[in-house]
Amino acid sequence: MKTTVPALAAAVMMAASPVMADLVVPNMSYRTGPYAANGIPYADGFSDYFTLLNERDGGIGGQLIQVPECETAYNTEKGVECYESLKSQNPLVLNPLSTGITYQLIPKASVDDIVLYTPGYGRTSAKNGEVFRWVFNAPANYWDGASVAVSHILEQEGGDLSGKKIALVYHNSAYGKEPIRTLQGLSEKHGFELVELPVDAPGQEQKSQWLQIRREKPDYVIMYAWGVMNQVAIQEAVNIRFPMDKFVGIWWSGSENDVTPAGAGADGYKSLTFHGVGQDYPLYDDLRTHVLDAGKAAGAGDQMGNVIYSRGVYAAVVIAEAIAKAQELAGTSEIDGAQLRDGFEALEITPERMAELGLPDFGQPIALSCQNHGGDGLGRIQQWNAGAGEWSLITDWIEPDAEILQPLVDEDSAAYAQEAGIEPGCN
């Protein structure tokens, strides 16, 4: 110990010197491990959009955006290391793409004045901005997703779910457990029976769960999976010949990388989404000209157009809009974390603005405030066409059931406020 610690210490010290930067928006990514199949496209999309802004527009408000990357491998201990090393670079906002790491960072980021932006994941009750001042999860969260999925099933069944059976296959972690309360509330309201089937991380072994589905014969299966668990689950569903159009995944269980391994059998599989699919948006032309063809794409540059890639782009779009708003409010282009939070709270993205950005009809309108950090939570259903190898949107925007969700958000955020000693309020 006597010799190793100082030697290691000296070497780490040399390497961990902070980088002075313009506006720092780190990319906490995972390109390795069992979740890499989904982590890679997201990280690529996120980085590529900021590269585009830097190349095409010279950054935001004249300030270049730096996107330092840190590999978390979806692991909370590496997440701590990443957070600490990124913190020294004065980041404005973090997007860890992991519910576990988000839970860990919520108290820390609030003390260190760093915004957490967790679109479509993280702690759902962070929607209540009066308690979670530094956390934003617009445009949609896990409970919205569960409610939208049930609304879609309700519509399929002609508005009546009494006596039906819905199974929830979920990743046995904070992420997968989030929707359980919502679904329990909805099952009481609509009279369907809920079967909960946890799958232990990382999710390569699911034979027994699908055997149980075969035995219980649920009418529908809702799935909250991520990474390798997606591919395995869809393959298992194909193996037991579960009807694919009755199998609805959350938005994290619906990318090309998840369905292609199951081949033609996955045809008709449905999943939620909170943004458009495919590459028929003008923004993609810009991405191709300024980033891909210029050889500046992140990663291998082969993920463009993937659903999860688009989600990474979408997250970057919202952050960039919030930065622009914050610069406008602060009257300076060199903003800090607190000013970015104000920018997020005043954020308004209209359909016209989305069209201007080159993404017409891509996402829902977003209007945030101090009270509402989570947006409206609309979702759409996309369906996989294995023959054409593409997703297509089959519904319009579906609204979540606020009657069930709002009390749950209030209850959970109040519990957190009490636990952490936070006085809810807007100043």
Binding site for another protein (CB under 8 A): 1-2, 4-5, 8-9, 11-12, 14-17, 29, 31-32, 36, 40, 69-71, 73, 75-77, 80-81, 83-85, 87-88, 99-100, 103-104, 106-108, 110-112, 123-125, 172-175, 177-178, 180-181, 198, 200-201, 299, 408, 412, 415, 419-421
Query: For residues 146 and 213, which CB has a smaller minimum distance to another protein in the complex?
Result: 146
Q: What tokens appear for 169 in the block? A: 């296959």
Tokens encoding 246:
């009755």
Euclidean distance between CA atoms 197 and 371, whole angstroms = 34
- Residue 228's H or E segment, with its range, is helix 228-239
CA distances from 117 to 16, 50, 315 (A): 25, 16, 8
Quick check: bond before 139 cis, omega within 30? yes
Closest to another protein by CB, 177 or 214: 177
- Of 77, 79, 104, 103, residue with least CA distance to 26: 79
Q: Minimum CB separation from another protein for residue 341, in Å?
A: 16
Distance CA 29, CA 42 (A): 8
CB of 76 to another protein, least distance (A): 6
Contact 93, 340 (CB under 8 A): yes
Backbone angles phi, psi at 414, to 5 degrees: -65, -40
Q: Least distance from C-beta 344 to another protein, angstroms?
A: 20
| Minimum separation from the CB atom of position 79 to another protein (A) | 9
For the bound state, the minimum distance from the C-beta of residue 173 to another protein, rounded and expressed in Å, comes to 6
**133 Cβ contact partners less than 8 Å away, ≥ 6 residues apart:** 110, 341
Nearer to another protein, 198 or 360 (CB): 198
Q: How far is the CB of 143 from another protein (least distance, A)?
A: 9
Is the CB of 76 or the CB of 372 nearer to another protein? 76
